[in-house]
Structure 1
Amino acid sequence: MAKIPTVFIDGEAGTTGLQIRERLAILPGLAVRSIAPTRRKDPGARRALMAEVDLVVLCLPDDAAKESATLAASLGADAPRLVDASTAHRIAPDWVYGLPELTPEQSALIAAAPRVSNPGCYPTGAILLLRPLVDAGVMPRDYPVTVNAVSGYSGGGNAMIAEYEGRRAPDFELYGLGLGHKHIPELQTHAGLTRRPIFIPSVGDFRQGMIVSIPLHLDTLPGRPKPADIEAVLAARYAGSEYVSVVPATAKLEPEALNNTNLLELRVHGSEAHGQAVLTARFDNLGKGASGAAVQNIGLMLGIPVETRLPVAAE
C-alpha cells in the first residue's frame, strides 16, 4: 500500500495557515500533522516533526520563515520539501516561484522543486496580466507600469481583521503611498520588468476578494495594439488553464464573486477610439492569492490531485 504524503503547517494558527488547513482537510490522499499549541515556538519540537513529514508549509512572518527554512535544511537528507507563504524567498534564486501559470514550464519546475515560494496576492494578478505581454514583445521590459489594487481586509492578517470587524477601521483606505511596498520586487522580477513599477494597494470594508487593475495608453506600446490584440495575447497564454481564464470585459466589476475558489479572471477593458485600456484581474486574495495557490503547489509537489475550493460548510 502506497504511503500517504504528510504535511506540517508551521504557523497554522494564522489566516493563511487556517485556510490551507481547511483546504487540505478535504483531500483523501494526504495527512496533515500538527504540533501541540504549547510547543509551536519550540525549535526542537518543530525540527523533530519536520523530520517526519514530506512537506512543510511556512505560514510565518519573513524572519521566522527564514529561521524555519534553516531549521529544515539542518536535517540534511531528511529535510522535507518546503512551501513558503511569506515574502522571504519570492525572488531568492534557489527557490522556485510558485505561480504555475507563470510560464508553460513553471508547473514542472514546481513539481520537481525542493523549495517553493508561494506568490503574494497582489503580484499574482499583476504578473499574470503583464508577463505574457512582456514575453510576446507587446510591452517593453522598461515600460512605465502602474498597478492599482483593492483587497478585502483579510489580506492584512489577524490584526487588520480585528480592526475591521470591530468597526474601528475606515471603509476604504489607500496605503503604500511611500512607493516602497514589499511586493514590488516580486512583481517586477516575475513580470519581467526592468523598470520599477508604481504599485498602489488599497483595502476595503469586505472580508475577502481582490481586483488588480493596470491602465495602459495603447499608443505608447510598440505597434499601437488594439484592446483585442492585448486580449488575444492573454487568451493564447492561458488557453486550457484550470484556474486562470480570460473573459469578456464588463462595465462594472466587484471583487467578491470568486471568493472561496482558486479561480482567477482576466479582462481587457478598452476603448479603441481613445487608444486606452485597463487590464484587470479578479480573484480571492485568500484563494488564488494565498491559501488556494499554496494547495495548488502542494498538489504539484506531492503528485496528488487537489481541491482548492473550501468545503461548502466553510463558505
Structure 2
Amino acid sequence: IIGRLKKALEKNEFASAYLFFGDEAIGKKLTAINFAKAMNCLTHATDACGACISCQKIEKGIHPDVRIIAPEAEMADAEANTENKGSEKKSRVIKIEQIRAIQNEMAYSPFEGKKRVFIIDNADKMNTEAANSLLKTLEEPAKNSVIILISSRPNSLLSTIVSRCQQIRFTTAPIETVKRLLIGKGLNSSDADLISSSAHGRIGTALNEDAAAIREKRDEYLMLLSTALNGNIADIFLSVEKYAKDSEKAMEIFEWFYIWLRDVIIFKETGETKYLTNSDKLDEIKKWSEIDSTKYLDILKSITDIQRAFSRNINKQLALEKVMMEIKEVA
C-alpha cells in the first residue's frame, strides 16, 4: 500500500480519485490523512515531514485545502470528543449538500497547498442523491484535486463510482509494524507490545486503545486462567457461568488465553522476552513455562478451533468449560 502511494508521490502523478477499502479500524483514514500531508508537505517531496506548517494544519484539521467529509452525526461526535453532544439530530448519511460543497471548492485552485484533497470517510453512507452527484464529479475530475473515498463496505458503493477510483485494499498490519507506530507516537515498549497484540493488527483500534484499561481487562481474564490451573472443579464451573453469557467477553477470554499461552511457549522455547506481549508479567510466565509446552500446544489448537466456530453460534459455556478443564489437566 505504502509503496504504491510513494510511487505516486515520487512521480508527482496522482489518480483523481482513490478508494481505500478494507475492514474497520485498520488504518485507512490515517493513511489518507498522511497521504494528504505528503502531497502538501513543504519540506519533503515524497513523504510527510510532520513538522512543517502544512503538515501540522492537516493534523489539526484546519488546512484550507484538505477536508474530511463524513455523515454529520459522526463529525459531531468527533468534534464533541466522543461525548455525542448534538449528534442525535444530525444525519447518519452523507448528503448531497456535502458533495456539492466539495464541487464548489474543486472549482478553485489550492489556497495555500499543492493539492486540494477531499477525504470522504464512510463513503458507503452516501445517500442516492449524494452518490449520483459524486459520480458526475468523478467523470469530470478537477486538475488540482484528489478525492479519497474510505469504506469498509465497498460493495455498497455504486459500481460506477468504484470503477472510476484507483482501488487500494487494506488488510491488518503485522504486529511489529503497529508496535513501531505506537512507539513513534511516544508509547513505551511494554505498552506498545500490549496494545499492538490486543489490536490484532488493526491500526485504528491500536491508536485508540489505553494500555491501563487493557491491563485491567487482561488481569481479570488471567485470574480466570489461574482458577483453571489451581482451582477446584466447582470454582471452574462457577467462573465459566459468570462469563459465558456475554459473547463478546467470551471471545476476549479466548483471545487472551491464546496470547498468554503463546507467550509461555515462546519464553520456554527461546528464553527471550523481546517477543512477549505480556513482558510485564515475566515472573508469572516463568512459572507457567515450567509445565510441558506440548500440552499447551494442544490447548492452543482447541482455542483456535473454538474461535473459528464462533460465527456458527456455538455454546460458549461448553466451549469455555472444555478449555478450562484442559488447562486443569495440564496442572
TM-score (ref. length: structure 1): 0.28
Between structures 1 and 2, the one with greater helix share: 2
TM-score (ref. length: structure 2): 0.27
Which is bigger in relative contact order (C-alpha 8 A, separation at least 6)?
Answer: 1
